[in-house]
DNA sequence: TTGTACGCGTTATCAA
DNA sequence: TTGATAACGCGTACAA
């Protein structure tokens, strides 16, 4: 038989209100009273009903995580990060893994809010840039934090990774290694990070005096297949690139597979660089040179920000890390160096 | 301003109880009354509070999905399948993506139940075989369905894929292709499917009169690395196998990577077969011969079973599908054929 | 510092 | 077929 707050009150010899005070860590409870209550809670293994707390009070002890992303690794990392931070706060994460919600999205979010009344929400790309949703949340006065939004940055507090800086650093590194024909596979244009990464690539080329050759730039869709396809096109060029920098981990994996299929040895004959968008590419693809993007940490930081949210709009930026897995010997010198 | 059931009642000119009847599809509501109420619900965009329903009624309109699995693709497929079926029922999925919960698991599940009072739970491997959890749920009289459990099959209704049959069919296929030295990489022993798959492999060998060579059997841990490692050992044998059958998709991917690293052409010089545990290996690894396990459909079926749960223990088995991606030409003939 | 009375939004019970 | 009222288990406001 499950116990209620009343049982705890009886066991501890206090009123239910006092138990409530202890549960919510309110002040004005004598230390010994608090101790008695805590003991009773422990003894009865009491866990308050979220439903009752939601109905009676101003909080629901629930935070919603909105994902509409086709990358399982990404979704997993987001959920894990948010869940970990919520656990510290004794708050439940309501993970909403939509898949291509599209037009329904606004209705789904509306239902979510009316039905569960979360204390706040965390949005992940590409929902971060869905203006109707942002406006709706603002209108409903729901606190929310966005992860790596690309637009309307003033609309909420957000956490970021330095996409441009990371792509810049990686490109510069490839140039320093002797590469001159560095291809870039752009991610889905629906994601702001795609452009930011591409921008970093372009800037680094400019700074090094290496011309931007649009023949070496291909559009991908963030997934394995589009990366493989883009790499196939690039490697079929009359003058193929000596390095391929993919705008996402899945596309890098695709590029690597294509290279393998063609008998090209990575990294000796071709350098492949990518991003580690989900703390996993590093395991799967040892030959890659990657930018580690601590996605889990980012999600953790987002939840942290949500709990500490003040009135103003705050931004937090997380550092990236270059992980070089190139062979010691520099790759085949670029033809025009 | 959000509307309550009272607003709907006023708008429709009925009592709150009648609105409640309509919402819960109870009988004994005159068709025209029902219509009036439905119109009012629509007009006010009313969505009932889960908290209030949980507190007042016997249901919470929530189903919990318990995952403690390190494979993001698997977790994603489970969530997607369960979510889809729950959406039909207008029930909310509470996804609990624990990661290596271990000893805490029982406490976490206890909290989950006390806090949210789900109408039922769906367990995925390896939680499906955690006896303390199973006993706890039974004791609490919580309805639950398990996905591919390996033990205590009588404890609950479950959905299965035919692991043994699939491994049997795949092994037979490899034999029919001319292979005699077929290696098998066993998955984590904590998962029942590992043994089932291994059993199917052994049985098929026996039936074909091909002796079981334990030198060709390696222990893996379901992940990429262990598959790569096992393949490395196998390919270093004095008499290496002509085919490697991996007990999971990730291990098959690892084996393929090892083969690539050694300059072995798949499938011409070596056949690699695996399972598609998450509807994804087929995309990532075209050269593989796989058993497609419709994990998402399995999760959907589990949720379906939960909603239709009767008193008895029911089992449902989902079919598998062999997907052959071998080159037309049979691989290098086995040495001893 | 602690307790009393009430309300939250819905369903259950019972009466009409 | 419909409605009035109690009840669910907490937090809130206010009183002591």
In chain C, which nucleotides are within 7 Å of a protein Cβ?
A: 1-5, 7-13
Pick the CATH number of B62-161+296-319 from 3.40.50.2300, 3.90.700.10, 3.40.350.10, 3.40.50.300: 3.40.50.2300
**Which has the minimum average pLDDT: A208-212, B144-148, B318-322?**
B318-322
Instruction: Report the pLDDT value the prediction gives residue B285, as an integer from 0 to 100.
Output: 53
Burial of A229-249, coded b for 16+ CB within 10 Å and e otherwise, reads bbbbebbeeeebbbbbbbbbb
**Which residues of chain B from 98 to 157 reach within 8 Å of chain A, CB to CB?**
99, 110-111, 114-117
In tens, the pLDDT along B107-162 reads 999 999 999 999 999 999 889 999 999 999 999 999 999 998 988 999 999 999 88
| Strand order through the sheet with A217-219 | A217-219, A182-186, A243-246, A271-276, A289-292, A321-323
**Mean pLDDT on B61-65:** 98
A129: pLDDT strictly greater than 70? yes
Instruction: Report the pLDDT value the prediction gives residue A333, as an integer from 0 to 100.
Output: 40
Instruction: Report the pLDDT value the prediction gives residue A193, as an integer from 0 to 100.
Output: 83
| A284–B224 C-beta distance less than 8 A | yes
Instruction: Report the pLDDT value the prediction gives residue A326, as an integer from 0 to 100.
Output: 54
In chain D, which nucleotides are within 7 Å of a protein Cβ?
A: 1-13
**pLDDT tier at A282, thresholds 50, 70, 90:** very low
Q: Is A267 or A120 the better-scoring residue by pLDDT? A: A120
Alpha carbons B309 and B58: distance in angstroms, whole number? 16
B92 membership: H or E segment, kind and range: strand B92-97
- Angstrom distances, CA of residue A45 to CA of A48, B197, B269: 10, 41, 61
- Angstrom distances, CA of residue A320 to CA of A53, A291, B274, B276: 40, 7, 35, 33
Instruction: Report the pLDDT value the prediction gives residue B267, as an integer from 0 to 100.
Output: 77
- In CATH terms, the fold of domain A5-48 is 434 Repressor (Amino-terminal Domain) (1.10.260)
B278: pLDDT strictly greater than 80? no
- Positive or negative, the Cα torsion across A39, A44, A50, A53? negative
CA of B282 to C1' of C10 (A): 47
| B99–A94 C-beta distance less than 8 A | no
Tell me the percentage of chain A whose pLDDT exceeds 70: 91
Alpha carbons A2 and A47: distance in angstroms, whole number? 9
Q: Any atom of strand D under 7 A from CB of B16? A: yes
Task: Return the CATH superfamily for domain A163-294.
Answer: Response regulator (3.40.50.2300)
Closest-CA distance of chain A to residue B53, Å? 8
| A253–B110 C-beta distance less than 8 A | no
What residues contact A102, with CB distance under 8 A and at least 6 apart? none
Instruction: Report the pLDDT value the prediction gives residue B74, as an integer from 0 to 100.
Output: 86
Instruction: Report the pLDDT value the prediction gives residue B14, as an integer from 0 to 100.
Output: 94
Place of tokens 């590029």: A255
B328: pLDDT strictly greater than 50? no
Instruction: Report the pLDDT value the prediction gives residue B17, as an integer from 0 to 100.
Output: 93
Q: For residue A52, list chain B residues with Cβ-Cβ distance below 8 A.
A: 51, 55
B265: pLDDT strictly greater than 50? yes
Q: Is B264 on the interface with A (CB under 8 A)?
A: no
Smallest CA-to-CA distance from B285 within B262, B311, B259, B312 is with B259
**pLDDT tier at B283, thresholds 50, 70, 90:** very low
**Mean pLDDT on B179-194:** 90
Smallest CA-to-CA distance from A158 within A299, A10, A266 is with A299
| Maximum mean pLDDT: which of A271-280, A291-300, B280-289, B302-311 | B302-311
**pLDDT tier at B332, thresholds 50, 70, 90:** very low
Instruction: Report the pLDDT value the prediction gives residue B288, as an integer from 0 to 100.
Output: 59
| A92–B83 C-beta distance less than 8 A | no
Q: What is the mean pLDDT of chain B?
A: 88
SS3 B48: coil
The dihedral region occupied by A238, where left means phi > 0, alpha psi between -120 and 50, and beta the remainder, is alpha
CA of B61 to C1' of C9 (A): 15
**pLDDT tier at B293, thresholds 50, 70, 90:** low
SS3 B62: strand
CB A242 within 8 A of CB A183: no
Instruction: Report the pLDDT value the prediction gives residue B2, as an integer from 0 to 100.
Output: 85
A5-48 shares its CATH topology with A163-294:
no
| A48–B52 C-beta distance less than 8 A | no
Strand partners, B317: B160
Task: Please state the three-class secondary structure of chain A as a single string.
Answer: CCCCHHHHHHHHCCCHHHHHHHHCCCCCCCHHHHHHHHHHHHHHCCCCCHHHHHHHCCCCCEEEEEECCCCHHHHHHHHHHHHHHHHHHCCEEEEEECCCCHHHHHHHHHHHHHHHCCCEEEECCCHHHCHHHHHHHHHCCCCEEEECCCCCHHHCEEEEECHHHHHHHHHHHHHHCCCCCEEEEECCCCCHHHHHHHHHHHHHHHHCCCCCCHHHEEECCCCHHHHHHHHHHHHCCCCCCCEEEECCHHHHHHHHHHHHHCCCCCCCCCEEEEEECCCCHHHHCCCCEEEECCHHHHHHHHHHHHHCCCCCCCEEEECCEEECCCCCCCCCCCCCC
A74: pLDDT strictly greater than 80? yes
CA of A17 to C1' of D15 (A): 14
Instruction: Report the pLDDT value the prediction gives residue A287, as an integer from 0 to 100.
Output: 56
**Which has the minimum average pLDDT: A63-77, A113-127, B122-136?**
A63-77
CB B216 within 8 A of CB B183: yes
Instruction: Report the pLDDT value the prediction gives residue B130, as an integer from 0 to 100.
Output: 93
Nearest chain B residue to A285 by CA: give it.
B257
Q: Is A269 or A278 the better-scoring residue by pLDDT? A: A269
Instruction: Report the pLDDT value the prediction gives residue B72, as an integer from 0 to 100.
Output: 84
- For B92, the closest of A75, A115, A253 (CB atoms) is A115
**Which has the minimum average pLDDT: A281-285, A312-316, B275-279?**
A281-285
Instruction: Report the pLDDT value the prediction gives residue A137, as an integer from 0 to 100.
Output: 97
Q: Is B37 or B192 the better-scoring residue by pLDDT? A: B37
Nearest chain B residue to A250 by CA: give it.
B284
CB B220 within 8 A of CB B226: yes
Instruction: Report the pLDDT value the prediction gives residue A330, as an integer from 0 to 100.
Output: 42
Q: Is A258 on the interface with B (CB under 8 A)?
A: no
Instruction: Report the pLDDT value the prediction gives residue B163, as an integer from 0 to 100.
Output: 87
- Lookup: tokens for B37: 């109420």
In tens, the pLDDT along B35-57 reads 999 999 999 999 999 999 999 99
Length of chain A: 337
Q: Count other C-beta atoms under 10 Å from residue A86's C-beta.
A: 23
Alpha carbons B228 and B243: distance in angstroms, whole number? 14
The nucleotide whose C1' lies nearest the CA of B37 is D2
A179: pLDDT strictly greater than 50? yes
CA of B143 to C1' of C16 (A): 37
A301: pLDDT strictly greater than 50? yes
| A260–B110 C-beta distance less than 8 A | no
| Domain range list for chain A | 5-48, 62-161+296-319, 163-294
B336: pLDDT strictly greater than 50? no
CA of B206 to C1' of D11 (A): 68
Q: Is A15 on the interface with B (CB under 8 A)?
A: no
Give start and end residues of each alpha helix (H) in chain B: 5-12, 16-23, 31-44, 50-56, 72-89, 105-116, 131-139, 163-176, 192-208, 224-235, 249-261, 281-284, 295-307
**Mean pLDDT on B17-32:** 92
Smallest CA-to-CA distance from B66 within B134, B155, B114 is with B134
**pLDDT tier at B334, thresholds 50, 70, 90:** very low
∠ Cα B257 B262 B266 (to 5°): 60
């Amino acid at each position: 038989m499950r116990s209620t707050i009343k049982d705890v009150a009886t066991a501890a010899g206090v009123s239910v209100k006092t138990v409530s005070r202890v549960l919510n860590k309110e002040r004005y409870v004598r230390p010994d009273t608090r101790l008695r209550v805590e003991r009773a809670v422990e003894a009865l293994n009491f866990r308050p009903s979220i439903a009752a707390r939601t109905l009676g009070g101003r909080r629901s002890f629930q935070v919603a995580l909105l994902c509409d992303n086709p990358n399982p690794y990404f979704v997993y990392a987001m959920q894990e990060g948010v869940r970990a931070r919520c656990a510290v706060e004794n708050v439940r994460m309501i993970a909403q893994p939509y898949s291509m919600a599209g037009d329904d999205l606004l209705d789904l979010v509306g239902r979510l809010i009316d039905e569960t009344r979360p204390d706040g929400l965390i949005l992940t790309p590409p929902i971060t840039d869905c203006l109707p949703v942002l406006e709706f949340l603002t209108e409903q006065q729901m606190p929310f934090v966005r992860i790596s939004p690309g637009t309307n940055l003033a609309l909420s507090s957000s956490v970021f990774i330095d996409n441009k800086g990371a792509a810049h650093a990686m490109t510069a590194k490839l140039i320093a290694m002797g590469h001159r024909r560095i291809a870039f596979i752009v991610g889905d244009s629906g994601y702001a990070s795609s452009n930011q990464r591409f921008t970093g690539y372009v800037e680094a080329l400019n700074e090094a005096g290496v011309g931007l050759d649009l023949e070496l730039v291909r559009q991908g869709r963030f997934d394995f297949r589009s990366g493989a396809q883009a790499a196939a096109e690039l490697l079929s060029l009359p003058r193929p690139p000596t390095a391929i920098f993919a705008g996402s981990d899945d596309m890098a994996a695709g590029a690597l597979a294509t290279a393998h299929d063609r008998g090209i040895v990575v990294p000796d004959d071709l350098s492949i660089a990518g991003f580690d968008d989900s703390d996993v590419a590093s395991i799967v693809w040892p030959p890659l040179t990657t930018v580690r993007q601590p996605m889990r940490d980012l999600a953790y930081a987002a939840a942290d920000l949500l709990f500490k949210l003040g009135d103003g709009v705050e931004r937090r930026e997380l550092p990236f890390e270059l992980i070089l897995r190139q062979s010691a010997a520099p790759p085949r010198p670029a033809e025009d160096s």
